[in-house]
Amino acid sequence: MIRLYFKQAWNLIRQERLFSSVYILGTGLSISMVMVLSIVFYIRLADIYPETNRSRILIAERSRVEERNRPGYVSTGYLSESIIRTCLGSLEGVEAIALELNDRSDFYVQPAGKETQLPVAAKFVNTDFWKVFPFRFTGGQPFTEADQLSRLPTVVIAQSLARRLFGDEDAVGQYISLNFRQYKVCGTVQDASFLTSRSYAQLWIPYTVSESYQQDTWGDTSAQGSYFASVLVAPDADIEKVKQAAEANVQRYSNTLPDYTFSMMGQPDYYWQSVLRTWDDNIDFGKLILQYALVFLILLLVPAVSLSGMTDSRMERRLAEMGVRRAFGAPVGALMKQILSENLFFTLLGGLLGLLFSYLLLFLTRDWVMQIGISFVEIVHEDAEVVIPASMLMNYTVFGIALAVCFVLNLLSALIPAWRASRRQIIYSLNAK
Amino acid sequence: MLKIICKQLLNRWGSNVWISMELLLVFCLVWYMTDYFFVLQYNRSIPLCRDVSHTWLVDVAQIPELSPAYRPAESDSATLPANFDRVLDRIRNCEGVEELAVMNRGDLPGAGSYYGWMLKSSPDSVSPSAGGQRICFDPRTDYFHVFRITTPDGKPVSVSDFDFSDPKAIVLSRSAQNSLFPGEHTAIDKGLYNGMDTEQSFVVKGVVGDVKRFDYQRPQKNFYVAERAGYSNIDRKSIVIRSSSSVSDARFRQLFSEKMKKELRIGNFYFKRIRSLESLEKETEALFGVTNNYRVRVALMLFFLLNIMLCVVGTFWYRIRQRREEIGLRMALGSTHASVRRLLYVEGLCLLAVVVVPAMLIEGQFVYLGMIDTLGKSSQDSQVYLPDRLLLRFILTNVITFVLLVAAILVAIWLPADKASRMAPAEALHDE
């Protein structure tokens, strides 16, 4: 039966080309906007190389210290290494803690024998970083615990940078000059995308090598510093319990401070929370989700009303047909099913167009679109290129979302016109020209 | 004609409900976006007593101590400042460089960092106070000239216009003067105190015009103070220059970079890069999410307008097909192509007119509930700007929204109206 309805819809398209084009275009436009947002959130939240453990990661990066005797005298910032070890290090069910030292210097590689300097993105991390973010090593290995302890200037570099600096030669074992300091390359990895910002860099260096390492803590407590932590929870552990235990540790630590209160502003966060988090002290994730839901709703509702108007107009023209079918005994449900199925055909065509258009939009706006809603945007490095791998765009999750959006939009745009058309008096419908 | 159209719209109300609902929805949403753009454009149009075009940040760094190329003797307390002066001289003498200034890195125009001060006109707790940005520069270089800072009435100023030989010297922006010395004719030679540490005092040596921290914001209060670059603070200093307007920015950047790569390798100093301050400001706007907010709103506005256009095209297309007989009859009775077209245009505009009042009522609720932000508004503002006059702003933004939707509807109706007007009366009447 559905096949017959689809066939009828195809004939309608052929008969009313302009109207059908407008309808499909409207549907495609709506679906493309929703899909752009959906893909952005998919890329920001799903388990994607090298952040394939996102669903098992807790993020801790904020600290807030307030004087007990002078409420309002507040200091906020990142965390110290010692507070991370104290509150998160001893938790049961934690597999590894990746540390990153927030060193915001500009980094330039001085290629051998050339006068030019190459701007690069570098991260100062610990050995556990490689466990939390399982990069694929194309040569060599990560720097070792011994390298880290003895502050050896070793470096893991991205394959694209290795190729740029050393051509076809093996980069492992060679030296590179970074801000005029020599680093020995111990490994090369498959590039990470700029879109996986927690792990993205072109060079990864032991955090103990950074010049900022010595001035780790600041402020009047030893809790504030320059570190972020990504905590990998064991697969068999309950992530919620680990989070609760961490929060309890933070509270216990705060209670030990006679003159200050300390908090991580509700952290550690689940990975999805860390993506939505702003600098607001009292962030309400429920409200944030509602806001995003409202945006999705508007993106669907505005075209849905417009498409409903068009569907309703189409139904006006087909009232006589509906009247004849009802006169021969077709129930209201069958007519509604017919209208919804026919409309679904239009919506699916629009959905396909919309999905393709959303890929084009994402490609054209790739430098910034992934950072929608982020309060402190990561600027694309002047020498870096934002690459969206095809695997991030074409996968079952994305196709599933597109299909679901089509169904929702179809219901929103055709349900009321279908209901109206199928419930008209038979005599009125038959009388319609 | 208007009466007939209204009658027809009422008679066909069932089929007009959707298009009216869509117009209502889109009107409110487009108004919300228009309001944001209105405030943004207003802020950008506020004149500045500063000019950052053709100004550049010259990034000069020092080789780290752990590098094999590092020479300790070049960084001792006597040699380091001397090397720094040599760096400044080389830059000054580079072709195309008009003026140079040394200033604190945290005070760069358009950069993300901000060093705030709270000053008071006397040490007691009840005296007038003002919060603003402190800008610190080396008085041997001309910060005011590099950024073409002017007096409130637009006259260019130079560092030499103020007596910075006094270690307590401070220059205020006009709004800072107005807040600190309300009702007084001049603040020159008056004393000021740091609100957080009243031991630190200043003497006002001059007043210049207000500047904005970012172009999308309103003018703010500024306090200009001097500090010489020396051994202990060179790490915190930045070099800014103004290039000649006769050389294109791209050309200047290329020539400067090529030359300075070799010439600025002095002692442990080396040349990193040169960046225009305009690009630095753009980067900071992007960093703070302003650019993305703007882009998202533009995309949404286009989306809403396209939707309303598609809705109008689709609905009117069907409407015309259903009203072939009526249109045929009109033409048979002497209506011209233009009058048929006009009939449809007026019909579309009537529908828009119907939704304006309900839309404004809904928007009014948004305003009443305080859900409309005023970009750049600060509790420190000493002046009332147009976006602060809510009623006027509400009317203006609604007028703009109306005009935008009129344009969208007219464009959308054009295709079906054109088809209707080309209809042959005999063919149309044949349907009957």
pLDDT digits (tens, 9 = 90+) for A410-428: 888 888 888 888 877 777 6
A391 and A296 housed in the same domain:
yes
Whether A308 sits inside 8 A of B261 (CB atoms) is no
A291 and A357 housed in the same domain:
yes
Structure-token match 């080389």, residue found? B90
Maximum alpha-carbon separation in chain A: 91
Q: Give the domain extent around A170.
A: 104-209
A145: in domain: yes
Distance CA B356, CA A219 (A): 56
Distance CA B139, CA B145 (A): 12
pLDDT digits (tens, 9 = 90+) for B204-223: 999 999 998 888 999 989 99
pLDDT digits (tens, 9 = 90+) for B36-69: 999 999 999 998 888 999 999 999 999 888 888 8
Shortest Cα distance, chain B CAs vs residue A376, angstroms: 5
A42 and A127 housed in the same domain:
no
Note whether B21 contacts A: Cβ–Cβ < 8 A: yes
A298 and A197 housed in the same domain:
no
Looking at mean pLDDT, say which of A24-33, B88-97, B305-314, B343-352 comes out highest. Answer: B88-97
What are the tokens at A254? Answer: 């705060």
Distance CA B290, CA A368 (A): 12
pLDDT at position B341 is: 84
Angle at B21 between CA B338 and CA B357, to 5 degrees: 80
A53: in domain: no
How much is the average pLDDT of A192-211?
Answer: 91
Note whether A360 contacts B: Cβ–Cβ < 8 A: no
A421 and A300 housed in the same domain:
yes
Distance CA B225, CA B222 (A): 10
Q: Which of residues 284-313 of B touch A (CB under 8 A)?
A: 286-289, 291-292, 295-296, 299, 303-304, 306-308, 310-311, 313
Q: Which residue of A has its CA nearest to B302?
A: A29
Whether B22 sits inside 8 A of A181 (CB atoms) is no
Looking at mean pLDDT, say which of A144-158, A317-331, B101-115 comes out highest. Answer: A144-158
A311: in domain: yes
Q: Which of A29-33, A390-394, B7-11, B207-211 has the lowest mean pLDDT?
A: B7-11
A31 and A116 housed in the same domain:
no
A307 and A418 housed in the same domain:
yes
Note whether A313 contacts B: Cβ–Cβ < 8 A: yes
What average pLDDT does chain A have?
87
pLDDT at position A234 is: 95
pLDDT tier for residue A204 given thresholds of 50, 70 and 90: very high
Interface predicted TM-score (ipTM) of this complex, two decimals: 0.83
Query: What number of C-beta contacts closer than 8 Å exist between A and B?
Result: 120
Helix (H, G, I), strand (E, B), or coil: what is residue B191?
strand
Residue at a domain's end among A161, A192, A209: A209
pLDDT at position B209 is: 92
pLDDT digits (tens, 9 = 90+) for B138-191: 999 999 999 999 998 889 999 999 999 999 999 999 999 998 998 888 889 999
Q: Which of residues 52-71 of B touch A (CB under 8 A)?
A: 59, 61, 63-64, 66-70
Shortest Cα distance, chain B CAs vs residue A86, angstroms: 32
A246: in domain: no
Whether B70 sits inside 8 A of A106 (CB atoms) is no
What average pLDDT does chain B have?
89
pLDDT above 70: percentage of residues in chain A: 93
A388: in domain: yes
DSSP A329-393: T--HHHHHHHHHHHHHHHHHHHHHHHHHHHHHHHHHTTTTGGGTT-SSPPPPPTT------HHHH
Q: Which of A269-273, B137-141, B165-169, B318-322 has the lowest mean pLDDT?
A: B318-322
Note whether B261 contacts A: Cβ–Cβ < 8 A: yes
Distance CA B223, CA A30 (A): 50
Domain boundaries, chain B: 2-47+288-431, 55-275
Residue at a domain's end among A209, A226, A244: A209
Shortest Cα distance, chain A CAs vs residue B381, angstroms: 23
pLDDT at position B377 is: 83
A11: in domain: yes
Q: Which residue of A has its CA nearest to B60?
A: A106
A32 and A165 housed in the same domain:
no
Is residue B241's pLDDT more than 90? yes
Whether A310 sits inside 8 A of B303 (CB atoms) is no
Residue at a domain's end among A209, A237, A270: A209
Is residue A317's pLDDT more than 80? no
pLDDT at position A216 is: 63
pLDDT digits (tens, 9 = 90+) for B421-430: 777 777 666 6
pLDDT digits (tens, 9 = 90+) for B334-363: 778 888 888 888 888 999 999 999 999 999
A38 and A108 housed in the same domain:
no
Contacts of A302 in chain B (CB under 8 A): 22, 25-26, 29, 303-304, 307
A164 and A34 housed in the same domain:
no
Structure-token match 């063919």, residue found? B427
Note whether A28 contacts B: Cβ–Cβ < 8 A: no
Contacts of B286 in chain A (CB under 8 A): 368, 377, 379
Helix (H, G, I), strand (E, B), or coil: what is residue A142?
coil
Q: Which residue of B has its CA nearest to A180?
A: B67
Count CB neighbours of A296 within 10 A: 17
Shortest Cα distance, chain B CAs vs residue A424, angstroms: 13
Contacts of B283 in chain A (CB under 8 A): 379
Number of domains chain A contains: 2
